[in-house]
């Protein structure tokens, strides 16, 4: 598929935010409607099948008495459609009719029984109530044509609004739904089209770009009514869904995992503060090349790349910034006006400047040179971030040591790419006692370094003032008890940096500080690199640095 909805819909309507409520008692659910209104929701979905011992004539008047703070959708989803209702169909139909008579603005009925329900109504539906006919696919996302055929079948039942939910096996499935939404907007068909689970998350936000009738959200975390559902507060405050329209540019962080990323919070606030019409999203993607080829429309204007795509991204770009080419890994992709993708690396600047400033703040240094000049600089990790750190430190005059948990082609690529630039001693060793293949020893000999075993590393201390930089995910949430190096070994280092920023204080940093080292956390790297990315994303706009720093620091757990 060449693009995801290659042009904005011809007709567009503002997407409503609907809080999907699943309280167990009528009074609790009524209170949740008020809470949803206070958060800024436009509509509330009352999933009455979730009520304990649901009795329509007793419970519905409590929920539907006017004045109400929000219009409501009444849903009584049966077990066979993923809901909680276990009773008879006729009783369910009677409850939905009663909801209409009591003034519900919308009633939802499943496509499988829509014809039976219409026969049951026999023209009794009030004109003030809109009928939503819904279907859910918990297995996959069918093709565009299959979904359009389904839309036509649902409309034929007499539906006022079409509601389709599918399941994402890959993030590119959302592109299928966007094309369906686009088609429906062009033909003025009100539709709710969403893709469930984390890989489908972006459909819950970007449906606003394509004019989806509404999107569902939970009142708070832990109260989701379907997989991948955001909260009302996140949709409105974090993703600024009220400002999303057909001309909104789309940016995001592509990787696996991405749910921990602070970038959406930071970039969305920054975009809004300078009046830049864009949204920044988490893109959970396993296949970067397929993601980029699918979301190739001009509005998909740039991406941050994180694990495991930083090196793969090099092969996906049409052009590379010279520094990114030297490093052999990128963390930022920009789509030019001609559609070509250009790769950049801002990791090295973010990390190295954070380390330099950390040293200057804690130690007396010569202001005319980098505090890294002449120091032995040990990088743990030979992936994209490790390469960036090695490149940046080497450019500052440090002597580079690269350590990695595994040994593979990434070392060869790094060292061959930089061989002609090397002016410092380079040593290659591995962790966890793995045995070096002959290629590792051969490469170490070529560059004048050496290969060390884990036991040698534990007591490795050839000089004072050494710097350690962890560029792996070891110690990242939820594996917070892990550390890439023992506390005993940390005693040899004067400065320790950890690229992990969730948690902010990792075990590595905690133990290094206890040993007397100057420690620099990954948040400082993140703050600096996202500021550079903002300028790339916006075509050179001045970044609101104070706002971005505050957003990162206040949202870190």
Rg of the chain on CA atoms, in Å: 28
Q: Which residues of 201-217 are buried (b: 16+ CB within 10 A; e: fewer)?
A: bbbbbbbbbbbbbbbbb
pLDDT at 440: 26
Q: Where is average pLDDT lowest: 70-74, 264-268, 437-441, 492-496? A: 437-441
Cα–Cα dist 477/501, whole Å:
9
Cα–Cα dist 50/61, whole Å:
16
Position 106 confidence tier, pLDDT thresholds 50, 70, 90: very high
Active-site residue identified among 310, 387, 396, 427:
310
Is the link from the previous residue into 220 a cis peptide, with omega within 30 of 0? no
pLDDT at 555: 60
In percent, how much of the chain has pLDDT > 90?
73
Distances (CA, A) of 398 to 292, 390, 393: 36, 9, 5
Angle CA 68–70–74, to nearest 5 = 95
Residue 216, pLDDT above cutoff 50: yes
Cα–Cα dist 455/105, whole Å:
71
Nearest residue to 15 via CA among 212, 285, 164, 235: 212
Across 504-523, average pLDDT: 96
340 within 8 A of 393, measured Cβ to Cβ? no
4 within 8 A of 296, measured Cβ to Cβ? yes
Q: Where is average pLDDT lowest: 88-97, 166-175, 244-253, 451-460? A: 451-460
| H-state helical runs in 363-464 | 384-395, 409-418, 438-447, 454-458
Cα–Cα dist 145/177, whole Å:
11
Cα–Cα dist 284/282, whole Å:
6
Distances (CA, A) of 364 to 356, 369, 370, 492, 527: 12, 12, 12, 19, 24
What would the pLDDT profile of 311-361 be if each residue is shown by its tens digit?
A: 899 999 999 999 898 878 899 999 999 999 999 999 889 999 999 999 999
Respond yes or no: is residue 112 known to be catalytic: no
316 within 8 A of 254, measured Cβ to Cβ? no
Q: Which two tokens stand for residue 348?
A: 């090295």
pLDDT at 183: 96
Residue 255, pLDDT above cutoff 80: yes
Q: Are strands 332-335 and 376-380 parallel, antiparallel or unpaired?
A: unpaired
pLDDT at 433: 37
Across 450-475, average pLDDT: 79
In percent, how much of the chain has pLDDT > 70?
87
Position 448 confidence tier, pLDDT thresholds 50, 70, 90: very low
Residue 408, pLDDT above cutoff 70: no
Q: Where is average pLDDT lowest: 189-198, 334-343, 441-450, 493-502? A: 441-450
Q: Burial of 484 by CB count in 10 Å (0-12 exposed, 13-18 middle, 19+ buried)?
A: buried
Is the link from the previous residue into 348 a cis peptide, with omega within 30 of 0? no
pTM over 0.85: no
What would the pLDDT profile of 534-545 be if each residue is shown by its tens digit?
A: 999 999 999 999
What letter does residue 231 receive in the DSSP assignment? B
DSSP codes, 436-471:
PPHHHHHHHHHHT-----HHHHHT--SSSSEEEEE-
Whether the CA torsion 412, 414, 415, 420 is positive or negative: it is positive
Nearest residue to 172 via CA among 139, 149, 200, 207: 200
pLDDT at 241: 97
219 within 8 A of 189, measured Cβ to Cβ? no
Q: Where is average pLDDT lowest: 172-181, 241-250, 253-262? A: 253-262
502 within 8 A of 413, measured Cβ to Cβ? no
pLDDT at 262: 85
Nearest residue to 239 via CA among 280, 193, 270, 178: 280
Q: Which two tokens stand for residue 224?
A: 């989701």
pLDDT at 509: 98
Across 385-414, average pLDDT: 68
Helix or strand holding residue 294 (H, E): helix 288-294
Q: Are strands 332-335 and 300-305 parallel, antiparallel or unpaired?
A: antiparallel
Position 456 confidence tier, pLDDT thresholds 50, 70, 90: low
Across 430-452, average pLDDT: 35
Most trustworthy range by pLDDT among 257-266, 384-393, 421-430:
257-266
Residue 391, pLDDT above cutoff 50: yes
Cα–Cα dist 400/389, whole Å:
10
Q: Where is average pLDDT lowest: 167-181, 187-201, 447-461? A: 447-461
Bridge partners for 250 per DSSP? 279, 300
pLDDT at 472: 84
pLDDT at 386: 77
CA count, 13 A, side-chain hemisphere, 470 = 29
Cα–Cα dist 469/518, whole Å:
12
Q: Which two tokens stand for residue 104?
A: 């519900």
Cα–Cα dist 210/232, whole Å:
19
Edge-to-edge order in the sheet of strand 466-470: 426-430, 399-404, 376-380, 466-470, 493-498, 518-520
Residue 263, pLDDT above cutoff 80: yes
CA count, 13 A, side-chain hemisphere, 67 = 2
Nearest residue to 67 via CA among 23, 40, 34: 34
pLDDT at 434: 39
Across 150-176, average pLDDT: 98
Q: What length does the chain have? A: 557
What would the pLDDT profile of 93-103 be if each residue is shown by its tens digit?
A: 999 999 999 99
Position 13 confidence tier, pLDDT thresholds 50, 70, 90: confident
Across 99-115, average pLDDT: 98
Cα–Cα dist 267/251, whole Å:
9
Edge-to-edge order in the sheet of strand 43-47: 191-196, 161-167, 130-136, 106-110, 72-75, 43-47, 16-21, 214-217
Q: Name the average pLDDT for the chain.
A: 88
């Amino acid at each position: 598929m060449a693009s995801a909805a290659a042009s904005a819909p011809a007709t567009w309507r503002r997407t409503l935010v609907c809080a999907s409520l699943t309280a167990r008692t009528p009074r609790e659910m009524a209170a949740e409607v008020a809470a949803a209104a206070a958060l800024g929701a436009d509509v509330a979905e009352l999933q009455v099948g979730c009520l304990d011992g649901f009795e329509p004539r007793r419970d519905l008047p409590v929920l539907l008495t006017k004045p109400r703070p929000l219009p409501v959708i009444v849903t009584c989803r049966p077990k066979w459609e993923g809901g909680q209702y276990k009773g008879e169909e006729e009783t369910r139909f009677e409850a939905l009719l009663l909801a209409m008579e009591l003034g519900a603005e919308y009633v939802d009925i499943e496509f499988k029984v829509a014809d039976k329900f219409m026969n049951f109504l026999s023209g009794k539906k009030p004109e003030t109530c809109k009928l939503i006919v819904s279907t859910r696919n918990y297995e996959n996302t069918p093709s565009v044509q299959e979904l359009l055929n389904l839309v036509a079948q649902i409309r034929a039942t007499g539906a006022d609004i079409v509601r389709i939910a599918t399941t994402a096996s890959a993030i590119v499935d959302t592109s299928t739904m966007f094309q369906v939404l686009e088609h429906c907007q062009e033909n003025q068909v009100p539709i709710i089209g969403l893709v469930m689970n984390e890989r489908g998350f972006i459909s819950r936000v970007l449906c606003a770009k394509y004019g989806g009738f509404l999107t569902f959200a939970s009142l708070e975390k832990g109260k989701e009514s379907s997989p991948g559902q955001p909260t009302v507060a996140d949709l409105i405050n974090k993703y600024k869904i009220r400002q999303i329209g057909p001309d909104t540019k789309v940016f995001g962080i592509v990787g696996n995992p991405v749910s921990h990323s602070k970038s959406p919070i930071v970039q969305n606030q920054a975009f809004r503060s300078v009046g830049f019409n864009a949204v920044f999203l988490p893109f959970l993607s396993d296949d970067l090349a397929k993601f980029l080829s699918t979301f190739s429309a001009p509005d998909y204007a740039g991406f941050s790349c994180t694990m495991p795509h930083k090196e793969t991204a090099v092969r996906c770009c049409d052009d590379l910034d010279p520094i990114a080419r030297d490093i052999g890994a990128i963390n930022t992709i920009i789509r030019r006006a001609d559609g070509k993708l250009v790769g950049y690396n801002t990791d090295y600047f973010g990390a190295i400047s954070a380390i330099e400033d950390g040293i200057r703040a804690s130690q007396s240094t010569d202001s005319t040179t980098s505090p890294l000049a002449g120091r032995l600089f040990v990088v743990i990790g030979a992936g994209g971030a490790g390469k960036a750190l090695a490149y940046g430190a080497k450019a500052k005059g440090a002597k580079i040591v690269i350590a990695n948990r595994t040994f593979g082609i990434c070392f060869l690529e790094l060292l061959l790419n930089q061989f002609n630039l090397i002016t410092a001693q380079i040593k290659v060793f591995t962790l966890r006692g793995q045995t070096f293949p002959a290629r590792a020893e051969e490469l170490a000999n070529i560059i004048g370094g050496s290969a060390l075993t884990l036991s040698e590393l534990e007591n490795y201390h050839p000089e004072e003032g050494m710097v350690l930089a962890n560029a792996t995910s070891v110690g990242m949430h939820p594996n917070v008890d892990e550390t890439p190096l023992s506390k005993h070994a940390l005693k040899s280092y004067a400065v320790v940096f950890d690229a992990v920023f969730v948690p902010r204080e990792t075990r590595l940093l905690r133990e290094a500080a206890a040993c007397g080292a100057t420690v620099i956390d990954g948040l400082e790297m993140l703050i600096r690199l996202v500021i550079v990315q903002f300028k790339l994303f916006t075509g050179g706009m001045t970044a609101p640095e104070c706002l971005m720093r505050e957003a990162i620091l206040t949202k870190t757990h």
